[in-house]
Structure formats: structure tokens, C-alpha cells
């Protein structure tokens, strides 16, 4: 086996090593046993082993009926070691492969230089169109920390899917209809008629949110208010002009407020729907399903599906009075999206309290025989608890998203003030905003989405340890060094001068990046990337304290280290961007 060699150098992409090593092993197996065997992917050896790849021989042991350690030894002995491998060693049942450091360095750094921010991305388009629905708030109150988790998670997943070559449609559906908004409307008519967010100097969503809380307080004194809200909902459904006009005004206020919050978070939607337009969808599908015997009509006229055979319960799909339910709409919206948007997959970013709902929904898709039924996924994420317990909008025990972002920005301004680096006035605010947002986003994304977050105000405000600021700081440091060097040489680099343990560790870690992106996207789990970036930043900081870059001595070493540092900065910056965190260049 020969590799492409040009100018005496080996040209190999970081993602190609795995295949080459599998082939080496397979060839060696043929030589030793005469058998052709499928070799599985090499694994990553533990830190104590000085190698990039390891192959455990247990599978072969079963297949060939030999002791794993014996196989390992035999395979190594009969292996033709290519020039890019520094060593191949059998250690017990494992075969460890170590690359020639210069080959590793050239492969990784060159590819990062060539691909830039897109290093580690899949180069070819998948041809798959994926709709990701996220955020989908009720329009009766401002966004809180729970929504924040949803938005941050949704955006990160969207970016990760794009990096895997999918055509992604970020979508949301505003729940602008129903009893919740009517409650706020009743409160407005009773207690705030004629007032506007402007007269209170408030954002529209906060203004309406206060009315919603007000309704709940007043209702305790005057329970008849609830009936008034229900009456208003009936008037709304009938299309009463006056009610509709008020509703339009108030939902517009809320949506304006949302837009400001979304802009600040960085949430973007390509496909926006309103429940007021979609809540009647799905009824024809259900009526059609009755004709085909998928659903059953009960004596009172309500329509049901029996899912007990599938380990679920019976579920109502249409009320006895013919009106729709939450699931009716979801059914109709999904069918419409697959039909009109030409999508191949749909992902719903919705909290874990709705796991059952989506199991039922997807099962109904299957019962209806939709070809896309198995291409729907529910990305469920854990709840966010406060030290006081669960957040409740009506009781005001929430962490408001706008307030949170303000607090984080102010915190970082304070730390910037104490820092030894002085940032020019005209950039200070935007950097503080980026650090504040980065802190809270990273705090959310570093957790596995499945897990509940017990929001710890102190930890979330922290800028040390595994935090967004730590990673941003690493990036800012590198950029600062590059600014001082005022050059990064991109060709004819003496990669063989990079052989310090910290340099090898960094290069090995950079080598893992494409795989991290791939698995984070496949599992819809940005915490994989979050953890990886923290580790990368940590490794760089260790390198940085132990070695000089600009005073490295020889020009060759300075240029090689600048190239390495620049490659790290590119990956940190690209990774943070995928997480929706801004990689600042000074702080």
C-alpha cells in the first residue's frame, strides 16, 4: 500500500487515517491467517498510551479462536509499516498506532487552513431536508429560562445538522390562540384599558405578561373572571370583530417583544406559523381516518384511537362537540409540512414533559401509513429548576430571559473592568454582551439535553472553569498573539519542529474534531461539542503557559507554533459559532 506523496510530504486528510489503519490491519490478518475479515473502527487509546489510534483484538480473538494478545503480536510482526506511522506496537490485547508527529501536524493543520471555519464539516451535501421546530412559545408572557434552553438547544442542533450537510429549515409555531391569551385580554380590558407598552415604558411581551399574572391574582378574588375569559375565547372563535381587534393588538405587542429577545439570543426562523392559522388543520385527516377504520367514533361523537396494543393508551383526537385538541393540530401541521415544504425529516425541540405526547403522535402517523412517520424525532430536554423549585409563570417564580441577559452582560462588564487588559470603549459593550450571552448559553449547552438542570445562579454567573468565558478567553489570547506576530505562515511550515508533549496532545485533540461534530449531530447532543471545546481550550492554555510562541527561538519553530495556535483558534471559533456563542477576539 502506497500513499500519495508530493514534495516528499504525505497528503492525508485527518478523516482518512481510520480507513488506512483498518486496511493495514485487514491486510495483516490476510497475511497471518489467509482470511479476509471486516475490521471495525479503531478506538482512541487512554491518555497514558502514547498513540493516536488503538485496535482491540477481542473481536478477532473470537473469530480466529486465538488469544487476543497473541493475535496482536502476530499482526504487528507481519505488518508493513508505512512511512507515516512512527510506530505500531502490541500492548497486551491492543495494537497501538502512533503517527509520525510531523505527518499528524501537517495533516491536521493544513486541513484546518484549507477548510477554515468549515473544518470538520461534512464536505458533501446529504440531500436531506430537515425541519427543526423549536421555541414555539405561548404569546401571553415573556420568554423565560426554560424557553432560553429550548432556543439555545434548537439553534445549536440546527447548526450541527447544517455542518453535516443537511438542508435545515428552522421553524416555529406561535401559540397565539387559546384561553391563556384571553386571560391577559380580560385583564387588559378590566384593568389597563387604553394603556400600551409605550405608556409603561415596557417591552410588549412584558406588558402582556404582567396582565396575565394580574388576571390570576384578580381571579382569586373574583372567580367569575374565568368565565369571562372562556366567553372571550368563544367570541374569538366566532370571529367577533372587537375581540379580534384587541387580540391582534395584544399579540402584536408580544411578538414585537419576542423579536427583540430572539434577535439578542440569536434565534432565527425560516418558517413561522401561528396557531390561529393552523388550529383547524388535522380535522379532515382524522375524519378520513375514521372512514378507513384507523380511528373510531364513540357514542358521544368524540373520535379516538386505541393504542393499547402499542403500549400506549386510548387517545381522543376530536372532542364530542367536534372541536380540535392539541394533538389534532400537530397532526395537521406535520402532514402539511411534509406535503408542502418537501422535507425528509422533522425534529421537534420540546421539553421532556411531552415525551408521551410525541410517542402518541408519531404512532398515529404510522397508523395512518405516512411514509415519513419514522422520520420524525422528538428532541426532548430536561426541565430547568430554580433553587426554589419549578418555574411557574403565573406565580412569577421565573427567570426572565431578558433580565438574565442583562445581568450576565453587567457581570462581564464588571469583570472586564477589573481585568488587566483594557478594551477600547467603543467595543466594550458588545464584548460584554458576547461574554454574558456566551456564559449562559454555555452553561445550558454543557449539560446533556436529557438531563434536568438545577439552575444555580452562582455557577451560571461564573467565568472560571468549564465556562463559555474560559473558551472565549483562550480564543482571545490566541488572536492577541497572532496580532502581535502580524503573520501566520500557511505553507512550507516545518511541522517536524512541533514535538513537545503539549503540541502533540493538541494535534491529537484537533484530529478528533470531525468525529465529535458527527456524533453530536447524530445524537442531537451539543454537549458533546461543548465538552470538546472546553478540553481543547484547556489543552491550549497548558501549552501556552509552558511554551513561548513569539520567543520560541528559531523562525521555524515560531512559524510552526503560530500555525498550530491559529489552527486551534479556528476550531475554537468555529465550534463556538456552531454552539451559537460569539468567539470574541479580545476580552
Nearer to RNA, 49 or 294 (CB): 49
350 bridge partner residues: 380
297 bridge partner residues: 303
| Interface segment toward RNA; rule CB under 7 A; list 14-22, 42-50, 104-112, 392-400 | 42-50
CB of 133 to RNA, least distance (A): 14
Nearer to RNA, 10 or 153 (CB): 153
d(CA 402, CA 465): 25
State which of positions 556-585 bind RNA (CB under 7 A). Answer: 585
Return the residue matching grid coordinates 472565549: 472
Specify the 3-state DSSP secondary structure of 81. coil
d(CA 573, CA 533): 9
Residues 509 and 104: beta-carbon distance below 8 Å: no
In the list 402, 544, 574, 575, the residue contacting RNA (rule: CB under 7 A) is: 544
In the list 22, 31, 357, 494, the residue contacting RNA (rule: CB under 7 A) is: 357
CB of 75 to RNA, least distance (A): 14
Nearer to RNA, 337 or 446 (CB): 446
State which of positions 373-392 bind RNA (CB under 7 A). Answer: 382-383, 390
| Interface segment toward RNA; rule CB under 7 A; list 141-149, 159-167, 229-237, 307-315 | 307-315
State which of positions 240-259 bind RNA (CB under 7 A). Answer: none
Closest to 575 (Cα-Cα) out of 528, 541, 538: 528
Closest to 35 (Cα-Cα) out of 68, 10, 60, 67: 60
Nearer to RNA, 371 or 545 (CB): 545
In the list 15, 33, 50, 354, the residue contacting RNA (rule: CB under 7 A) is: 354
Total residues in contact with RNA, by rule CB under 7 A: 99
Nearer to RNA, 51 or 219 (CB): 51
Tell me if 325 contacts RNA by CB under 7 A: yes
Task: Find the helix or strand (DSSP H, E) in which 418 lies.
Answer: helix 401-418
Nearer to RNA, 47 or 224 (CB): 47
Tell me if 320 contacts RNA by CB under 7 A: yes
State which of positions 102-161 bind RNA (CB under 7 A). Answer: 138
State which of positions 43-62 bind RNA (CB under 7 A). Answer: 43-46, 48-49, 51, 54, 56, 58-59, 62
Cα distances from 217 to residues 194, 300, 394, 395, 520, in angstroms, run: 21, 37, 9, 9, 45
What's the grid cell of residue 254? 408580544
Tell me if 479 contacts RNA by CB under 7 A: yes
Residues 184 and 140: beta-carbon distance below 8 Å: yes
In the list 549, 560, 572, 579, the residue contacting RNA (rule: CB under 7 A) is: 549
CB of 255 to RNA, least distance (A): 17
3-state secondary structure 210-250: HHHHHHHHHHHHCCHHHHHHHHHHHHHHHCCHHHHHHHHHH
What's the grid cell of residue 312? 400506549
CB of 497 to RNA, least distance (A): 15
Letters for 60-99 (x = contact with RNA by CB under 7 A, - = none) are --x-----x----------------------xxxx-x---
Residues 179 and 233: beta-carbon distance below 8 Å: yes
Task: Tell me the Ramachandran region of residue 149: left when phi exceeds 0, alpha when psi lies from -120 to 50, beta otherwise.
Answer: alpha
d(CA 63, CA 14): 30
CB of 573 to RNA, least distance (A): 13
Rg (CA), the chain: 29
In the list 465, 554, 555, 577, the residue contacting RNA (rule: CB under 7 A) is: 465
CB of 296 to RNA, least distance (A): 12
Residue 87 phi/psi, 5-degree rounding, is: -160, 150
CB of 271 to RNA, least distance (A): 19
Return the exposure string of 447-467: e unless at least 16 CB atoms fall within 10 Å of the residue's CB, then b.
Answer: bbbeeebebeeeebbbbeebb
Letters for 407-446 (x = contact with RNA by CB under 7 A, - = none) are -----x--xx--xxx-------------x----------x
Nearer to RNA, 242 or 300 (CB): 300
CB of 408 to RNA, least distance (A): 10
CB of 329 to RNA, least distance (A): 8
Residues 70 and 55: beta-carbon distance below 8 Å: no
Nearer to RNA, 166 or 315 (CB): 315
Nearer to RNA, 41 or 256 (CB): 41
Residues 476 and 584: beta-carbon distance below 8 Å: yes
Return the residue matching grid coordinates 384587541: 246
Residues 79 and 88: beta-carbon distance below 8 Å: yes
| Interface segment toward RNA; rule CB under 7 A; list 109-117, 127-135, 243-251, 468-476 | 468-476
CB of 371 to RNA, least distance (A): 26
Overall residue count recorded for the chain in this entry:
587
Tell me if 194 contacts RNA by CB under 7 A: no
Nearer to RNA, 459 or 577 (CB): 459
Other Cβ atoms less than 10 A from the Cβ of 372: the count is 16
Closest to 25 (Cα-Cα) out of 56, 63, 69, 62: 56
d(CA 494, CA 561): 10
Nearer to RNA, 154 or 526 (CB): 526
Nearer to RNA, 172 or 175 (CB): 175
| Interface segment toward RNA; rule CB under 7 A; list 124-132, 197-205, 262-270, 319-327 | 319-327
d(CA 209, CA 297): 40
In the list 15, 33, 50, 302, the residue contacting RNA (rule: CB under 7 A) is: 302
Nearer to RNA, 10 or 434 (CB): 434
Nearer to RNA, 197 or 212 (CB): 212
Nearer to RNA, 54 or 192 (CB): 54
Tell me if 15 contacts RNA by CB under 7 A: no
Amino acid at each position: 500500500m502506497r500513499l500519495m506523496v508530493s514534495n516528499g510530504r504525505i497528503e492525508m486528510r485527518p478523516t482518512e487515517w481510520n480507513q488506512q489503519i483498518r486496511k493495514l490491519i485487514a491486510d495483516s490478518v490476510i497475511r497471518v491467517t489467509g482470511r479476509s475479515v471486516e475490521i471495525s473502527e479503531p478506538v482512541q487509546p487512554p491518555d497514558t498510551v502514547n498513540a493516536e489510534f488503538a485496535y482491540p483484538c477481542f473481536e478477532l480473538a473470537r473469530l480466529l479462536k486465538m488469544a487476543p494478545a497473541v493475535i496482536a503480536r502476530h499482526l504487528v510482526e507481519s505488518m508493513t509499516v508505512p512511512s507515516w506511522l512512527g510506530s505500531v506496537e502490541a500492548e497486551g490485547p491492543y495494537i497501538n498506532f502512533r503517527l509520525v508527529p510531523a505527518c499528524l501536524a501537517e495533516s491536521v493543520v493544513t486541513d484546518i487552513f484549507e477548510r477554515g471555519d468549515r473544518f470538520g464539516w461534512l464536505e458533501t451535501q446529504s440531500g436531506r431536508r430537515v425541519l427543526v421546530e423549536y421555541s414555539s412559545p405561548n404569546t401571553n408572557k415573556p420568554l423565560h429560562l426554560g424557553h432560553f434552553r429550548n432556543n439555545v438547544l434548537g439553534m445549536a442542533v440546527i447548526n450541527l445538522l447544517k455542518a453535516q450537510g443537511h438542508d435545515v429549515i428552522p421553524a416555529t409555531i406561535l401559540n397565539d390562540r387559546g384561553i391563556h391569551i384571553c386571560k391577559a385580554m380580560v385583564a387588559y380590558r378590566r384593568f389597563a384599558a387604553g394603556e400600551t407598552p409605550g405608556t409603561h415604558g415596557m417591552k410588549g411581551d412584558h406588558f402582556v405578561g404582567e396582565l396575565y399574572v394580574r388576571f390570576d391574582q384578580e381571579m382569586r378574588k373574583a372567580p367569575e373572571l374565568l368565565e369571562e375569559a372562556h366567553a372571550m375565547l368563544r367570541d374569538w372563535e366566532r370571529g367577533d370583530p372587537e375581540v379580534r381587534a384587541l387580540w391582534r393588538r395584544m399579540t402584536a405587542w408580544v411578538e414585537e417583544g419576542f423579536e427583540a429577545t430572539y434577535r439578542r439570543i440569536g434565534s432565527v426562523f425560516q418558517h413561522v406559523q401561528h396557531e390561529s392559522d393552523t388550529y383547524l388543520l388535522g380535522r379532515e385527516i382524522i375524519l378520513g381516518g375514521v372512514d378507513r377504520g384507523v380511528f373510531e367514533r364513540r357514542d358521544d361523537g368524540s373520535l379516538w384511537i386505541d393504542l393499547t396494543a402499542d403500549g400506549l393508551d386510548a387517545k381522543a383526537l376530536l372532542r364530542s362537540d367536534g372541536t380540535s385538541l392539541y394533538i389534532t393540530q400537530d397532526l395537521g401541521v406535520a402532514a402539511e409540512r411534509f406535503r408542502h415544504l418537501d422535507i425528509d425529516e422533522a425534529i421537534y425541540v420540546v421539553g421532556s414533559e411531552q415525551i408521551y405526547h410525541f410517542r402518541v403522535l408519531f404512532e398515529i402517523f404510522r397508523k395512518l401509513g405516512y411514509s415519513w412517520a419514522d422520520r420524525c424525532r422528538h428532541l426532548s430536554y430536561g426541565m430547568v429548576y430554580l433553587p426554589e423549585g419549578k418555574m411557574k409563570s403565573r406565580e412569577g417564580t421565573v427567570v426572565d430571559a431578558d433580565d438574565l441577559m442583562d445581568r450576565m452582560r453587567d457581570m462581564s462588564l464588571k469583570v472586564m473592568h477589573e481585568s488587566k487588559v483594557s478594551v477600547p470603549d467603543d467595543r466594550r459593550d458588545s464584548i460584554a454582551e458576547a461574554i454574558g450571552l456566551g456564559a449562559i448559553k454555555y452553561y445550558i449547552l454543557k449539560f446533556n439535553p436529557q438531563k434536568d438542570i438545577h439552575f444555580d445562579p452562582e455557577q451560571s454567573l461564573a467565568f472560571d472553569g468549564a465556562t463559555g468565558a474560559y473558551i472565549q478567553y483562550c480564543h482571545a489570547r490566541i488572536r492577541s498573539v497572532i496580532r502581535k506576530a502580524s503573520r501566520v505562515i500557511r505553507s512550507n511550515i516545518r511541522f517536524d519542529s512541533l514535538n513537545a508533549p503539549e503540541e502533540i496532545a493538541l494535534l491529537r485533540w484537533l484530529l478528533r474534531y470531525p468525529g465529535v461534530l458527527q456524533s453530536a449531530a447524530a445524537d442531537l447532543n451539543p454537549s458533546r461539542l461543548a465538552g470538546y471545546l472546553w478540553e481543547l481550550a484547556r489543552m491550549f492554555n497548558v501549552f501556552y503557559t509552558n511554551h513561548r510562541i513569539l520567543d520560541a527561538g528559531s523562525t521555524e519553530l515560531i512559524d510552526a507554533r503560530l500555525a498550530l495556535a491559529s489552527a486551534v483558534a479556528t476550531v475554537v471559533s468555529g465550534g463556538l459559532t456552531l454552539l451559537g456563542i460569539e468567539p470574541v477576539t479580545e476580552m
